[in-house]
Structure 1
C-alpha cells in the first residue's frame, strides 16, 4: 500500500465554504475508484484562537492498494481538474507499514496527521513493529476509524494518520495537524 497527500495553502481571508461546497459536489466522484482504499477530503480553517502557524488548507489524504491506482488518479481527469482550480501541488507519498481500517470509516469527521524524522541507523524492523502495534491500538482501543503508519526513505520521514468520528482533544495531539473531514470515499 501507498499513502499520498497534497496540500493547498489558501489565503487567510479565503471563504472556506467554497471548499465545503466543492467537497459536497465532487466528493462522491472518487467513490469506488479502482485501487483506492480510501480518500479523506480534509480541510483546516485558520481560527483566531489557533497558533500563529495555522492556515486555511485543503489537504486530501489517500490510501492506495498499490501505486497503480495512485498513478491512474494522478494521470487522470480528476487530478487535471484539481490542478486547474488550485495549482500544481507537491505530492507527498509514503510506503505504508500498516493500515487498520474500520468498516465505519465513512463516519469520520476529523483526521490527525503527524510526521517526523526517522533517526539515522534506526532499527527499522523494531520501529515498524512498534508503529504497527500503535496503529492497531489506535483503532481497537482508542476508537479511531482508521489508522496507518508509513515511511518515506528518501528523507527518512515517518507519518501517522488517523480518522476519527469525534474531534480528538487538542492536548492529546499537541504536535499533530487536526483536520475536518468533509467526505470519505472508499473502494
Structure 2
C-alpha cells in the first residue's frame, strides 16, 4: 500500500471556484482507476472559516494498493494535464502502515493531514503498531470516515491522514485541514 499527495499553493486572490469546477468536471475520471483504493480531491480556501487555512491549496491525496497504479497515473494524461495547468509538482509518497476505511467514503467532506518526525532509532515496528491501532480506533468517532497511517523512510516522517463528515478538531498547529470536493473509488 502506498499513499501519495501533491499540493499546489495558489495566489491569495485566486478564484477557488476554478478548483471547485475542475473537481466537479474531472473528479469522476479516476473512478475505477487500476490499483486505486481512493483519491480525495482536496482543497483549502483561505477565506473558509471552517478549516482556517493560511493558503489557498489544491492538494489531491491518493491511496494505492500497489505502486503500479501510482506509476500509471503519474505517467498518464491526467497528471500531464494538471502539470500543464499548474506546473509539475513534487509528489510526496509514503509506505502504508494501515488504512481503516469506512463503508462509504463518499460521505467525506473534510480531511486532516498530520506529518510528524519519527524519532531517531525508535522502535519502528512499535510505532507502526501504535499508528495502526490509532487508525482502527479513529472510526469510533462518528465524524470519521477513514484513516490512513504511513511513513516516509527518506525523511523519516510519519503520516496520519483522515477523512471526516464534518470539520475535525485540529490535532496540532501543524495539522493541515482541507475540504473534500470528491472521492474517486475503485
Q: TM-score range by the shorter chain?
A: over 0.9
Specify whether residues 11 and 76 from structure 1 end up closer, same or farther in structure 2 by C-alpha distance, changes over 3 A only: same
Gapped runs of 5+ residues in structure 1? Answer: none
RMSD: 1.8
Determine the C-alpha separation between the residues in 2 that align with 1:103 and 1:53: 29
Specify whether residues 53 and 104 from structure 1 end up closer, same or farther in structure 2 by C-alpha distance, changes over 3 A only: closer
1:35 counterpart residue number: 35
- Kindly indicate whether the alpha-carbon contact (under 8 Å) linking 2:46 and 2:54 is maintained by their aligned counterparts in 1: yes
Specify whether residues 83 and 101 from structure 1 end up closer, same or farther in structure 2 by C-alpha distance, changes over 3 A only: same
2:178 counterpart residue number: 179
- The answer as to 2:119 corresponding to 1:107 is no
Specify whether residues 52 and 112 from structure 1 end up closer, same or farther in structure 2 by C-alpha distance, changes over 3 A only: closer
Q: TM-score, normalised by structure 2?
A: 0.95
**Displacement over 4 Å in runs of 4+:** 48-53
How far did 1:47 drift? 2.7
> Per-residue displacement from partner, 1:62-101 (whole Å, max 9, x unpaired)?
0000100000000001110110111010000000000011
2:85 counterpart residue number: 85
Gapped runs of 5+ residues in structure 2? Answer: none
1:146 counterpart residue number: 146
Determine the C-alpha separation between the residues in 2 that align with 1:9 and 1:138: 29
Determine the C-alpha separation between the residues in 2 that align with 1:122 and 1:180: 34
Question: Which 10-residue stretch deviates more, 124-133 or 45-54?
Answer: 45-54
Determine the C-alpha separation between the residues in 1 that align with 2:13 and 2:2: 34
1:121 counterpart residue number: 121
Secondary structure class of the residue paired with 1:90: coil
How far did 1:45 drift? 0.8
- Kindly indicate whether the alpha-carbon contact (under 8 Å) linking 2:45 and 2:53 is maintained by their aligned counterparts in 1: no
How far did 1:169 drift? 3.2
Q: TM-score, normalised by structure 1?
A: 0.94
- Kindly indicate whether the alpha-carbon contact (under 8 Å) linking 2:53 and 2:176 is maintained by their aligned counterparts in 1: no
How far did 1:152 drift? 0.5
